[in-house]
Amino acid sequence: MAALSGRDLLSLADLSPKEVQELLEMATQLKLQKLKLRCNKVLGLLFSKASTRTRVSFSVAMYQLGGQVIDLNPNVTQVSRGEPIQDTARVLERYLDILAIRTFAQQELETFAHYAKIPVINALTDLEHPCQVLADLLTIKEYFNTFTGLTLTYLGDGNNVANSLVLGCALAGMNVRVATPSGYEPNAAIIEAARSIAGNKTEVILTHDPEVATKGVNVLYTDVWASMGQESEADDRTPIFQTYQINEELLNLADPEAIVLHCLPAHRGEEITDAVIEGSQSRVWDQAENRMHVQKALLASLLGAD
Ligand code: CP
Ligand code: NVA
């Protein structure tokens, strides 16, 4: 069982390859109901951006563990009135056992974690989305039963999901290719960190060519072309990203057994077509379900449940 008691999860790079494997194994056991864990603790959700999957999957995971959840929507707390993060963090840690934060700047999350002694989880920042990628890895493992020898290709914007995916693939022992338009590459420091984790065992490849990136791969992944906070750029981005769309033509270049993933919410007809997301190779609903199982494992592990 992964022993992460008392730690934060701010970046996927906070976990070792062994800890990732242990969390995935724990999530599998929880999903199959071969493992039952209880923890009578309280989770706070402090989300400054919209969320369906993360909010609900964290809440249900905590309820199923026997714990409780408080939704700390910034609009109904003093956060929206500008109470300093360092004050909010030191107050919330006196009430809560664990805190999941969704915000814009990674630095804000890190300040929270610095001042709050309870475990703090990154529930999405502009830089990373580690909980999403743990669920993605679980979905890949369920389908292929291994990571060894697999290649995942991410197409589109080098955003938070792309950054965490690159780290996740390196940690899991999978090759990763990222195809973006020029100027939209993933974070350079994260690429460097992923290459350091991968060593000479697996590849971390950046390209601007979606077809070369897709040929023969096992997993195709995409996300929106304009993330939360970038809505005003959406119209300008559409023509720039058009050739990175996952459609049937592109999918035909991948391995015939390849699966398609998308963190959701999707913009059908933009980064992915209706036919592909509804097609036989799509695993997006299993992927969404796995958010709950992997976050239950994560909560139990950070809280030291037994
Ligand atoms: N994939 C994901 O994080 O979805 P939500 O924004 O709905 O939480
Ligand atoms: N990249 C997207 C992911 C949403 C789950 C965003 O940040 O809006």
What are 70-123's pLDDT values in tens digits?
999 888 899 999 999 999 999 999 999 999 999 999 999 999 999 999 999 999
Are residue 163 and residue 188 in the same domain, yes or no? yes
pTM of structure: 0.98
Are residue 102 and residue 170 in the same domain, yes or no? no
Please indicate whether residue 126 is annotated as part of the active site: no
Say yes or no to pLDDT of 19 above 80. Answer: yes
Show the domain range for 16.
12-128+291-303
Q: State mean pLDDT over 28-51.
A: 96
Are residue 145 and residue 267 in the same domain, yes or no? yes
Q: How many domains does the chain have?
A: 2
Please indicate whether residue 263 is annotated as part of the active site: yes
Residue whose tokens read 């919330």: 92
Please indicate whether residue 169 is annotated as part of the active site: no
| C-alpha of residue 33 to centroid of ligand 2, in Å | 30
| C-alpha of residue 131 to centroid of ligand 2, in Å | 12
Are residue 110 and residue 159 in the same domain, yes or no? no
**Could you tell me if the CB of 11 is within 6 A of ligand 1?**
no
Are residue 90 and residue 34 in the same domain, yes or no? yes
In the set 53, 55, 129, 262, the catalytic residue is: 129
What are 238-266's pLDDT values in tens digits?
999 999 999 999 999 999 999 999 999 99
